[in-house]
Chains A and B, each alone.
Chain A
Amino acid sequence: MISTASLKKGVNWKIFLRNYGIVISFFLLCLALSLVSDRFLTWTNILNVLRQSSINGIIAVGMTFVILTAGIDLSVGSVLALTAVVTASLLQRGLPISLVIITGLALGAVLGSVSGLLVSHLHLFPIITTLGMMTISRGLALTYTGGMPITTLPSSFDFIGAGSLGPIPIPIVVAAFIFLAGHFILTRTNLGLYIYSLGDNPVAARLSGISANKVILFVYALSGFLSALAGMILIGRLDSAAPTLGSGYEFDAIAAVVVGGTSLAGGEGNLFGTLIGALLIGVLNNGLNLLNVSALWEGVVKGLVIAFALLMYRAVK
């Protein structure tokens, strides 16, 4: 259902660039890195990039849903931290892993729902609402742990972050599933159509009989749920949970979404773009590592890439 209009009247380079510019940039970056570093195009490194991108990717899926409704969720990193420390402490108390996982994910969904309710029913601005949720969750995570990380989780939990299914690490499998499921919801279900329509024109959506409040509640709940899921993968890999986890993750997630061509004004964009956006950021991080660029420069480079991507979209619009 994505702009089929571009199929007519031969090739329109503007539409072509708008749809595929990000893919081209991504492959150019990969090409450049494979030329300057012979370690880049190795199986180990590729899996490494994918695994590192999977956490941001999962969060970015939720962020895409939220941004498509013209909202934003700044609380993803803090929700990740709070659900992670709660999950870790429950694990340490020896509760069954499946129960702990369900509890942790539910906590994420509940935290997201709180933001969702405030945005939908009380018409608060998403940016302020989730900014509040961001500081509250972080504060709760810090209080809950007394500021100390929770270490040595039961080894049976490690598979989530460090296990693998055949040759493919579990985080990559989970992220792939989330992307596919998200894509299915957005393109093949009523809910997906309602999300796009609500972001495009909320007044018309309400007058068309769409339960706008429920849709908004859903996207924020999903964002919280996926943040919690990403948090579990993260602590599974680190084998510990610190209350400071996930700080700045909202930036990477929003960056992936926006670089992927989803409009912050809502109603326009797709998960394919977000996937490429997340991979681009992953490759960028990896490339900076391979080239031994100081970690201190990372933020600057990422910021410039995003600014560049936005300028490009503006230019071809």
Chain B
Amino acid sequence: MAENQVSLEMHGISKSFPGVQALKEVDLILHRGEILGLVGENGAGKSTLMNILTGILHSDTGIITLKGKPVNIENPRQAQIMGISIIHQELSVLPNLTVGQNVFLGREPRLPIHFLVDWKNLYYLAKEHFKKLNLDIDPHILLSELSVAQRQMVEVARALSFKADIVVMDEPTSTLTEMEVKNLFSLIHTLKEQGISIVFISHRLEEIFRIVDRVIVLRDGVLVGSAPISQVDPKQLVMMMVGRELKEMFPKESLPQKEKVLSVKNLKRGKDLKGVSFDLHRGEILGLAGLVGSGRTFVARAIFGADPLEEGEIWIEGKKVQIRSPQEAISYGISFLPEDRKAQGLFLKLPLSSNIAITDMKELSFLGIIIFKKLQELASSFVNKLKIRTPSIFQIVRNLSGGTQQKVVLAKWLALKPKVLILDEPTVGIDVATKAEIHALMNGLAKEGVAILMISSELPEVLGVSDRILVMHEGLISGEFLRQDATQDKIMLCATGGANNG
């Protein structure tokens, strides 16, 4: 086989930004048909390296060789022409166009009259393309009607529609459910068989071990390790990434109490929610699993008053309440961390201190006038408590890394001292060390008596963190497990509708 044929070589790549050396003399070799895992903590330089490969950034020093020929990659378009495609961590699809238009953006098939687009053909091609990828998405619908996960699949489909022989996937699975991950992985294997090389970036080590042939590790912009995946174990890999040994990935110690804090009964809203009921107890971490689109997020939004309910009751500490807006939910002691931190959680142009304080301004002001001393104390206390890495509490949030931003959103909700904390995908796209910190924090909160409802697509997380697990399928609870009884297989069975009851 041509396994050993070198497809890409990056040699001595360095790049610095004002004040930061992002990459120092990094080497990377990618063989034909190889799946290369690229791992490292947030800010280790993975994205910078890939941005250099795809022409978005230019390296200060270093050489890139494609199939033995040195090349100069000026811009993303040129990279595409050279056969390098990237699927970004942050979606770059256009919400007001249809799925099909997004896939063929800039390369629409034309009618004989050249400046007219052949729409019929475009949607036909899109449909065929999706079939090959096992994707069940109608190319005619607007992208804005899709969930985040579905949009990501469209992005994957778009990247693959270029005839690329190197595909970079920057955290392609971060918002995908197990099922979709499986689809993606079988697709990656198909691509590999066709001789396409893949650079796979992920924070989920379990996936790295499942899919890649070889792994390289970056830490603080330096290449600290490279090995065939069969020669390392997860512990060693984490140690290389973090530079020290991490204890348990999912430490578990909370003790749920009997007292019900939140009860929902028969929540209904169109086809998203078809009658969801459950109880949440003081000090409990309740995991909510299910495929994307199963209604998990709608449950959270309904409880938080973000979407109106058609039917159903919400009880807080034994009292029936009406929640018609997030404000009302907040007044009942409910906090909700939404799944998309940039679109729904952060004020990127505002300083960290304001981002944390904003939910709690009534406490931090007198007659509507801000008491800055209190505000800054609150922000500082959370910076210390959550170990938020920032030069100052006045740092503009846009300039912080993903994991740090997530801690900021968390701090915003914890500032309210909630009784019920709803977390929607709390660790998406976050490195292992920060993830462990967030899990430890959740445990600590549960111990203090906070009732936590955690939505997650990552089954190991659900299994590791929850006291009890609910599974949703098509707007209904399809299974319930105690921590000790739950397994990935049982949850997947319920999530896909394969079991009638847990």
Residues of A within 8 A of B (CB): 1, 3-5, 8-9, 12, 188-194, 196-197, 200-201, 203-211, 267-268
Whose C-beta in chain B lies nearest to the C-beta of A268? Answer: B349
Q: Residues of B within 8 Å of A, CB-based: how many? A: 38
Query: Would you call B306 and A267 a contact (CB within 8 A)?
Result: no
Query: Would you call B330 and A209 a contact (CB within 8 A)?
Result: yes
Query: Would you call A1 and B351 a contact (CB within 8 A)?
Result: yes
**Whole-angstrom distance between the Cβ of A310 and the nearest chain B Cβ:** 18
Query: Would you call B349 and A193 a contact (CB within 8 A)?
Result: no
Q: A204 with B347: in contact, given A189-B370, A190-B361, A193-B354 (CB under 8 Å)?
A: yes
Q: How distant is the Cα of A217 from the Cα of B226 in the complex, in angstroms?
A: 59
Q: Which of B372-416 contact A (CB under 8 A)?
A: 391-392, 394-396, 399, 412
Query: Would you call B349 and A9 a contact (CB within 8 A)?
Result: no
**Whole-angstrom distance between the Cβ of B418 and the nearest chain A Cβ:** 12
Partner of A201, one of B325, B348, B351, B362: B348
Whose C-beta in chain B lies nearest to the C-beta of A8? Answer: B391
Query: Would you call B358 and A1 a contact (CB within 8 A)?
Result: no
Partner of A209, one of B19, B326, B354: B326
Query: Would you call A197 and B365 a contact (CB within 8 A)?
Result: no
Residues of B within 8 A of A (CB): 18-19, 304, 306, 325-327, 329-330, 336, 338, 343-351, 353-354, 357-359, 361-362, 365, 368-370, 391-392, 394-396, 399, 412
Q: How distant is the Cα of A129 from the Cα of B358 in the complex, in angstroms?
A: 29
Q: A189 with B369: in contact, given A196-B347, A206-B326, A209-B327 (CB under 8 Å)?
A: yes
Query: Would you call A208 and B326 a contact (CB within 8 A)?
Result: yes
Q: Which residues of B contact A211 (CB under 8 A)?
A: 327
Residue of A3, A200, A207, A210 ringed by the most chain B CB atoms within 10 A: A207
Q: A201 with B327: in contact, given A1-B394, A189-B365 (CB under 8 Å)?
A: no
Starting from the known contacts A193-B357, A193-B358, A201-B348, 7 additional A-B residue pairs (CB-CB under 8 Å) come to A1-B353, A1-B354, A4-B392, A190-B368, A204-B343, A205-B358, A207-B306
Between A and B, 16 residue pairs with Cβ closer than 8 Å are A4-B351, A188-B369, A188-B370, A189-B365, A189-B369, A190-B362, A190-B368, A193-B354, A196-B354, A197-B358, A201-B346, A204-B346, A204-B347, A207-B326, A208-B326, A268-B349
**Whole-angstrom distance between the Cβ of A189 and the nearest chain B Cβ:** 5
Q: How distant is the Cα of A268 from the Cα of B396 in the complex, in angstroms?
A: 12
Q: How distant is the Cα of A8 from the Cα of B396 in the complex, in angstroms?
A: 13
Q: How distant is the Cα of A1 from the Cα of B354 in the complex, in angstroms?
A: 9
Q: Which residues of A contact B349 (CB under 8 A)?
A: 196, 200, 267-268
Q: How distant is the Cα of A191 from the Cα of B369 in the complex, in angstroms?
A: 9
Q: A191 with B350: in contact, given A207-B306, A207-B336 (CB under 8 Å)?
A: no
Q: Which residues of B contact A5 (CB under 8 A)?
A: 391-392, 394-396, 399
Q: How distant is the Cα of A207 from the Cα of B359 in the complex, in angstroms?
A: 9
**Whole-angstrom distance between the Cβ of A317 and the nearest chain B Cβ:** 12
**Whole-angstrom distance between the Cβ of B420 and the nearest chain A Cβ:** 14
Query: Would you call B395 and A208 a contact (CB within 8 A)?
Result: no
**Whole-angstrom distance between the Cβ of B456 and the nearest chain A Cβ:** 19
Q: How distant is the Cα of A154 from the Cα of B326 in the complex, in angstroms?
A: 52
Q: How distant is the Cα of A180 from the Cα of B368 in the complex, in angstroms?
A: 17
Query: Would you call A197 and B347 a contact (CB within 8 A)?
Result: yes
Whose C-beta in chain A lies nearest to the C-beta of B358? Answer: A208
Whose C-beta in chain B lies nearest to the C-beta of A193? Answer: B354
Q: How distant is the Cα of A206 from the Cα of B304 in the complex, in angstroms?
A: 11
Whose C-beta in chain A lies nearest to the C-beta of B331? Answer: A209
**Whole-angstrom distance between the Cβ of B202 and the nearest chain A Cβ:** 27
Q: How distant is the Cα of A267 from the Cα of B325 in the complex, in angstroms?
A: 23
Whose C-beta in chain A lies nearest to the C-beta of B364? Answer: A190
**Whole-angstrom distance between the Cβ of B280 and the nearest chain A Cβ:** 20
Q: Which residues of B contact A193 (CB under 8 A)?
A: 354, 357-358, 361, 370
- Identify the 8 closest CB pairs spanning chains A and B, nearest first: A4-B394, A209-B330, A190-B361, A200-B347, A209-B327, A267-B349, A200-B349, A209-B326
Query: Would you call B394 and A207 a contact (CB within 8 A)?
Result: no
Q: How distant is the Cα of A200 from the Cα of B354 in the complex, in angstroms?
A: 12
Whose C-beta in chain A lies nearest to the C-beta of B336? Answer: A207
Q: How distant is the Cα of A196 from the Cα of B357 in the complex, in angstroms?
A: 13
Q: Which residues of A contact B338 (CB under 8 A)?
A: 204, 207
Whose C-beta in chain A lies nearest to the C-beta of B413? Answer: A208
Whose C-beta in chain B lies nearest to the C-beta of A269? Answer: B349
Query: Would you call A207 and B345 a contact (CB within 8 A)?
Result: yes
Q: Which residues of A contact B357 (CB under 8 A)?
A: 193
Q: How distant is the Cα of A193 from the Cα of B345 in the complex, in angstroms?
A: 15
Whose C-beta in chain A lies nearest to the C-beta of B340? Answer: A203
Query: Would you call A191 and B368 a contact (CB within 8 A)?
Result: yes
Q: Which residues of A contact B19 (CB under 8 A)?
A: 9
Q: Which residues of A contact B370 (CB under 8 A)?
A: 188-190, 192-193
Q: How distant is the Cα of A208 from the Cα of B330 in the complex, in angstroms?
A: 8
Q: Which residues of A contact B399 (CB under 8 A)?
A: 5
Whose C-beta in chain B lies nearest to the C-beta of A196? Answer: B350
Query: Would you call B343 and A203 a contact (CB within 8 A)?
Result: yes
Q: How distant is the Cα of A211 from the Cα of B305 in the complex, in angstroms?
A: 13
Query: Would you call B327 and A200 a contact (CB within 8 A)?
Result: no
Q: Which residues of B contact A12 (CB under 8 A)?
A: 18
Q: How distant is the Cα of A9 from the Cα of B357 in the complex, in angstroms?
A: 26
**Whole-angstrom distance between the Cβ of A17 and the nearest chain B Cβ:** 15
Q: How distant is the Cα of A203 from the Cα of B358 in the complex, in angstroms?
A: 14
Q: How distant is the Cα of A30 from the Cα of B368 in the complex, in angstroms?
A: 39
Whose C-beta in chain A lies nearest to the C-beta of B304? Answer: A207
Q: How distant is the Cα of A9 from the Cα of B395 in the complex, in angstroms?
A: 13
Query: Would you call A189 and B368 a contact (CB within 8 A)?
Result: yes
Query: Would you call A207 and B344 a contact (CB within 8 A)?
Result: yes
Q: Which residues of B contact A196 (CB under 8 A)?
A: 347, 349-350, 354
Whose C-beta in chain A lies nearest to the C-beta of B357? Answer: A193
Query: Would you call B368 and A200 a contact (CB within 8 A)?
Result: no
Partner of A208, one of B353, B368, B369, B412: B412
Q: How distant is the Cα of A219 from the Cα of B361 in the complex, in angstroms?
A: 19
**Whole-angstrom distance between the Cβ of B416 and the nearest chain A Cβ:** 9
**Whole-angstrom distance between the Cβ of A180 and the nearest chain B Cβ:** 14
Q: How distant is the Cα of A190 from the Cα of B369 in the complex, in angstroms?
A: 6
Residue of A201, A209, A210, A267 ringed by the most chain B CB atoms within 10 A: A209
**Whole-angstrom distance between the Cβ of B400 and the nearest chain A Cβ:** 11
Q: How distant is the Cα of A192 from the Cα of B242 in the complex, in angstroms?
A: 41
